[in-house]
Amino acid sequence: MKILVPVKRVIDYNVKPRVKADGSGVDLANVKMSMNPFDEIAVEEAVRLKEKGAATEVVVVSIGPAKASETLRTALAMGADRAILVQTDDAVEPLAVAKILKAIVGEEAPGLVVLGKQAIDDDAGQTGQMLAALLGWGQGTFASKVEVAGDGVAVTREVDGGLETVSLKLPAIVTTDLRLNEPRYASLPNIMKAKSKPLVTKAPADYGVDVAPRLTTLKVSEPPVRQAGIKVADVDELVAKLKELGAL
C-alpha cells in the first residue's frame, strides 16, 4: 500500500506573526518558514506504518512556491520515499489544494492519504474533509491512533467527551491530531540521503486545476493588546471592580 502525505510550508510556529501595514495579510518577508507541525506528525505516522510493514511507499506532496521543495526534502529526510512539488506562487485555498490532491490520488492510487488536521497559517482545517468528499472516501479526522489491518483502518479520534474509534474501509483519508506521535528529527546521514531521493516538479495546470481564489480577505489585524491585570485586596473589592467593569 502506498501512502500519500500532503505537507504545507508555513510560517514557523515559533515566529510571532506580524501583520502587514496595509492590513492585507501577514508579513512573510524574511520570516522563518517550516513544515506545518501537523504535517510532520502525518509524515511520521506514514513512515512508521511503512516501518511496521503496513505500507510499501510514502509519497509526499506540497503545493506552493519553489522553496516548498525544502519542506519536501525535510519529509524525505524523515523517511518518505519520493516527492511531488506542485509549484505556484499564488496563495492556494483548501478547495484548490483538495482538487489537485484528488488528481494526484488518481495518478498514484494510494491506499491512505494522511494530512494534518489544519495548517497553522490559515487555520482552515478543511482540506482533508474536502478531499474525502471529492473522492467519496471515508475519513478519520483528528486521529490520535491509526491502526491498519487488512483492507481497513481503525482511527481513534479525540472528541469532546473522550475518544471515539471509527473503522474505515481503505482507501481512506486520515487527518492527524497533536497526540498521534512525536515526529523524529532527521539525522544528518538521512538529510544527505534525502538530497538524492526523487522530487518531481509540476504545475496546477498539469492537473487541470484553476487555483484562482474564491475568498477575499477583507482585513487582517493584530489581536487587541492585553491590558495589565490589577490586584484586589479581598472578594468585596473584586466584586465591586467587576461591577465597575460591567463584567457582573
C-alpha cell at 67: 522553496
- Using CA atoms, how far residue 17 sits from 13, 135, 217, in Å, is 9, 35, 17
Q: Is 127 in contact with 118 (CB distance < 8 Å)?
A: no
Task: State in angstroms the smallest separation of the CB of 16 from ligand AMP.
Answer: 20
Nearest to 169 by CA among 149, 188, 187: 149
- Collapse the DSSP code of 210 into the 3-class scheme (helix H, G, I; strand E, B; otherwise coil) and give the result: coil
List interacting residues with ligand AMP (CB under 6 A): 6-8, 36, 38-39, 42, 62-64, 92, 94, 97, 115-116, 118-119, 122, 124-128
**Which residue lies nearer to ligand AMP by CB, 25 or 239?**
25
Sign of CA dihedral 33, 37, 39, 42: positive
Residue that has been written with the C-alpha cell 472528541 in this structure: 159
Task: State in angstroms the smallest separation of the CB of 239 from ligand AMP.
Answer: 43
Task: State in angstroms the smallest separation of the CB of 21 from ligand AMP.
Answer: 25
How far apart are the C-alpha atoms of 148 and 79, rounded to whole Å? 19
- Measured at CB, which residue is nearest to ligand AMP? 116
CA 158 to chain centre: 17
Task: State in angstroms the smallest separation of the CB of 60 from ligand AMP.
Answer: 9
**Which residue lies nearer to ligand AMP by CB, 11 or 42?**
42
**Which residue lies nearer to ligand AMP by CB, 179 or 243?**
179
Alpha helices in the chain (DSSP H): 37-51, 68-78, 94-108, 127-135, 188-194, 235-244
Task: State in angstroms the smallest separation of the CB of 184 from ligand AMP.
Answer: 18
Task: State in angstroms the smallest separation of the CB of 29 from ligand AMP.
Answer: 19
**Which residue lies nearer to ligand AMP by CB, 34 or 62?**
62
C-alpha cell at 102: 484528488
Task: State in angstroms the smallest separation of the CB of 151 from ligand AMP.
Answer: 24
**Which residue lies nearer to ligand AMP by CB, 187 or 213?**
213
Classify 246 in phi/psi space as left (phi over 0), alpha (psi -120 to 50) or beta: left
C-alpha cell at 183: 515526529
**Which residue lies nearer to ligand AMP by CB, 7 or 155?**
7
**Which residue lies nearer to ligand AMP by CB, 212 or 240?**
212
